Each structure stands twice: as C-alpha cells, then as structure tokens.
C-alpha cells in the first residue's frame, strides 16, 4: 500500500490481493524447499517493498516508483512505456516515426498519441523497447507458472546445483531463495556484460546474490561456451531469463537438457512460446500487461516493479518443487502471467477499505480495528555479493571441458 497511489496522495488499499498471493507463494516455497533442504521461510508480502526500502523510493502515481516507466496516452487509450536504459530513450524517435529530441517528452507524447496501442507494441518489439497495453495478458490463470516439457528421470542430490543465468530482480531473487534452502547456486555473467543490477543499489544486489558463486563467460569464445555447456549438463536446475533466440544462438536447447535429466526454469517477460516471446519487459510494464494497475486518468502503478518480486518468489517455489522431483522438466514463470495470477484474487472489499490519516501516519480500517500502513522493509542485509568472475578458476577446474 505504501508504494501504491499518487505521489502526494494517500496510499491505496487496492493491491491487497497481491499481498495475499505473495503469502501463498511464500507458504509454497517453505513446503517445497523442506522436501530436499532447509525450509526457506520469508514474509512474502514484505518482498514487494525490499528495493524501495533500500533506496528510499516512494509511490509515484502514473510514473513508476523506480522512475523509468510511465503511462502515456495513445490514440486508443493508455499504454506503458518503460525506459530503464539510455538506449531505450535514444530509440524513442524511431518509435514515433519522427525526428525529434529524445528528451523532448511533450513532442514524444504527441507522437505516441497519434498511434494505436497495437502499433506501439509492434514497433517497440522491433526496437527492443518495453511497452505494454494495460490488461493485454490479464486473463485469469490458476498458477503463476506452467510446464512446457517433461524430460527424463533426474538424480536427487543432498545439495543440488543451480545454475543462475538471470539478471536484475526476479531471477536473482529466485536463485537467492534457493540458496537459502541449501542449494549451491552459480551465477553466470557475460564477459563485459555483467548483471545490470550491479550498477544499482549495492545493498539490494547483495541481498539477492550474496550466497552465489560467480563465474564470467565470454559467449563469443569457443572454450568458454564449451565450459558453459558442461556446467549446464552438470546442473540439477537452470534458471534463465533470456528470450529464446539467445539460447538458440548459444546452441542450448532446454528440452534436450531436460531429456538428459536437467530441469530448466525460464523467468521471462511473456514466456518462451508464441509471438510474445520476442518481446522484452520489466517488472512495471509486465505487471500492467497482467492487469495490475489502478484505474484513473491517468492510471497509477501498483507497488514497485511488482511483477518482479511476484515472479521471483513464485519461481523460487516452483524451482524448489522441481529440485524435489525425480522428473526433469522445462517450466516457466513469465512476469506478465505471474502478475495476472496475483491479480486474480481482487475483491470489492479490498478496493473499498477505509483509510485514515493520523497526522504523519496512514492507517487502514479492518473490521473493528485500525492498522498502520507500514513503510517498506527488507530482510537483514547479508554479506556482500562476490565480484564478477570470482570463482572462474575453481569452477573451470571442477567442470573441465574435454579437448
């Protein structure tokens, strides 16, 4: 609630069902991780505010909490543009088909207003820009993830090996929670292209990645690619967050790995199959695509990149289940699908909750009591995450490639 609503307005009770979904996913994680390791017990709803707690960010209305996404009016309604990278902003003139200053938002907004949402989404996909039409992926689903392929039997080890190819928030959160359960997690980063979250708030990166071994791989180098294949073949579970063509270019086939006894879990924007597999997305825009936003003129965002912690926690629970299973499986938890799952429990009661301003403190009236609206909080800060490539020599010696 603290992170949802207008910048200078009251917090919103509308996302109450999201907190319930996070509590459900946290319970599932504890049950599944107990089947093979230490039960991982987390306060699911509090994960929604961890980044904001460490950065001091606050609710921001029609602009995302992190500041990179905003609602913009198209010819046929509102859309979301998410521009977290300098290259995204530089691509805006191409998006609207006009020669203009990339910082001239009034002119850009005017150009967007002349296009339909469908036209913008199609062009954004070609340019690699994250954009979403509200609710385009919001059909109710019964689970945040789904199975894509069943492979062969897999071994069950006392300490499973998880290879984490993900970056930013959702995937690293899932890998970190599996490490808390006792898995050995190896974080793979590209040479010269480390996890972009390393450039963000150090404490938040440490929170997600502190328990992982770190290896750097030059994807253009034949020996490094052979090492990566050997590492994946030795894994019990692979976490991955790239568009399918990235794995295709590396000669990595998740179904073939599953047939060899390695489970694979994708945490992408819109899934591995269909036309939407080509689209990129981040936590704010995919959440809106999945139905999580506050109606208004303009609409408002729900929490901070909310699809990221939802998908990350749900993926950790599913990953823990895969590690307990004798059946190797390819599965996925797309961010937009996870948001739609969390949105499925919306009720009229949650939207009608009464708020009170008690001076410096907002409170919400629930039955016969008032409860304070809590500021975001985070788990205890752990040790620092390892630098890029810290375990290069160790892992290459442990998983040598044949010559």
Number of domains in the chain: 1
Computed on alpha carbons and rounded to an integer, the radius of gyration of the chain in Å comes to 21
Under 8 Å between Cβ of 68 and 82: yes
Tell me if 240 is assigned to some domain.
yes
Q: What is the pLDDT of residue 347?
A: 44
Q: Span 37-55, mean pLDDT?
A: 97
**0.85 cut: is pTM over it?**
yes
> How far apart, in whole angstroms, are the C-alpha atoms of residue 172 and residue 316?
10
CATH number at residue 242: 3.40.50.10540
Tell me if 105 is assigned to some domain.
no
| Residue pLDDT, tens place only, 167-222 | 999 999 999 999 999 999 999 999 999 999 999 999 999 999 999 999 999 999 99
Q: Which residues have C-beta within 8 Å of that of residue 213, sequence separation ≥ 6?
A: 184, 185, 186, 187, 386, 390, 391, 394, 395
Q: Span 279-307, mean pLDDT?
A: 96
Q: What is the pLDDT of residue 348?
A: 41
> How far apart, in whole angstroms, are the C-alpha atoms of residue 102 and residue 94?
10
Top mean pLDDT of 12-21, 102-111, 118-127 is at: 118-127
Which residue, among 265, 335, 279, 281, has the nearest Cα to 306 in the 3D structure?
Answer: 335
Average pLDDT value over all residues in the chain: 93
Question: For residue 17, what pLDDT band results from cuts at 50, 70 and 90?
Answer: confident
In the numeric block, which tokens belong to residue 278?
């080509």
| Pairing state between β 362-366 and 354-357 | antiparallel
Place of tokens 């917090």: 11
Q: Span 96-109, mean pLDDT?
A: 81
Tell me if 88 is assigned to some domain.
no
Bond from prior residue into 88 cis (ω within 30 degrees of 0): no
Torsion of CA 19, 24, 25, 29, to 10 degrees: 140
Domain boundaries, position 330: 145-289+310-341+379-398
Question: For residue 2, what pLDDT band results from cuts at 50, 70 and 90?
Answer: very high
Q: Span 244-266, mean pLDDT?
A: 95
Tell me if 327 is assigned to some domain.
yes
Q: What is the pLDDT of residue 350?
A: 46
Q: What is the pLDDT of residue 352?
A: 59
Place of tokens 């805006």: 92
Q: Is the pLDDT of residue 306 over 80?
A: yes
Q: What is the pLDDT of residue 354?
A: 84
In the numeric block, which tokens belong to residue 367?
């039955």
Tell me if 243 is assigned to some domain.
yes
| Residue pLDDT, tens place only, 342-400 | 998 554 444 457 888 877 789 998 878 888 999 999 999 989 999 999 999 999 999 99
């Amino acid at each position: 609630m603290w992170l949802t609503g207008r910048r200078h307005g009251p917090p919103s009770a509308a996302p109450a069902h999201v907190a319930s979904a996070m509590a459900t996913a946290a319970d599932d994680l504890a049950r599944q991780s107990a089947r093979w390791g230490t039960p991982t017990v987390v306060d699911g709803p509090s994960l929604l505010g961890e980044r904001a707690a460490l950065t001091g960010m606050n609710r921001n209305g029609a602009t995302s909490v992190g500041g990179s996404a905003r609602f913009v009016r198209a010819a046929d309604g509102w859309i979301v543009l998410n521009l977290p990278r300098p290259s995204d902003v530089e691509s805006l003139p191409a998006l609207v088909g006009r020669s203009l200053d990339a910082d001239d938002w009034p002119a850009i907004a005017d150009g967007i207003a002349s296009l339909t949402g469908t036209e913008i989404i199609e062009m954004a996909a070609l340019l690699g820009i994250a954009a979403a039409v509200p609710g385009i992926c919001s059909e109710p689903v019964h689970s945040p993830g789904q199975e894509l392929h069943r492979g062969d039997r897999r071994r069950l080890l006392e300490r499973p090996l998880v290879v984490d190819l993900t970056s930013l928030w959702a995937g690293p959160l899932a890998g970190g929670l599996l490490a808390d359960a006792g898995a050995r997690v190896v974080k793979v980063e590209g040479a010269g292209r480390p996890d972009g979250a390393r450039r963000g708030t150090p404490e938040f990166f440490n929170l997600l990645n502190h328990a992982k071994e770190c290896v750097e791989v030059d994807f253009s180098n034949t020996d490094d690619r052979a090492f990566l294949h050997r590492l994946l073949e030795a894994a019990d579970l692979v976490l991955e967050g790239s568009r399918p063509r990235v794995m295709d270019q590396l000669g990595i086939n998740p179904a073939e790995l599953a047939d060899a006894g390695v489970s694979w879990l994708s945490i992408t924007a819109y899934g591995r199959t269909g036309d939407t597999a080509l689209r990129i997305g981040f936590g704010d825009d995919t959440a809106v695509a999945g139905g999580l936003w506050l109606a208004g003129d303009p609409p408002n965002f729900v929490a901070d990149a909310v699809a990221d912690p939802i998908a990350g926690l749900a993926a950790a629970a599913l990953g823990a289940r895969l590690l307990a299973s004798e059946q190797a499986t390819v599965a996925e938890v797309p961010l937009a699908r996870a948001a739609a799952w969390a949105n499925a429990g919306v009720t009229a009661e949650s939207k009608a909750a009464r708020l009170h301003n008690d001076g410096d403190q907002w409170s919400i009236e629930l039955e016969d009591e008032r409860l304070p609206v809590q500021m975001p909080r985070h788990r205890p800060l752990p040790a620092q995450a390892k630098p890029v490539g810290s375990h290069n020599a160790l892992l290459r010696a442990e998983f040598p490639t044949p010559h």
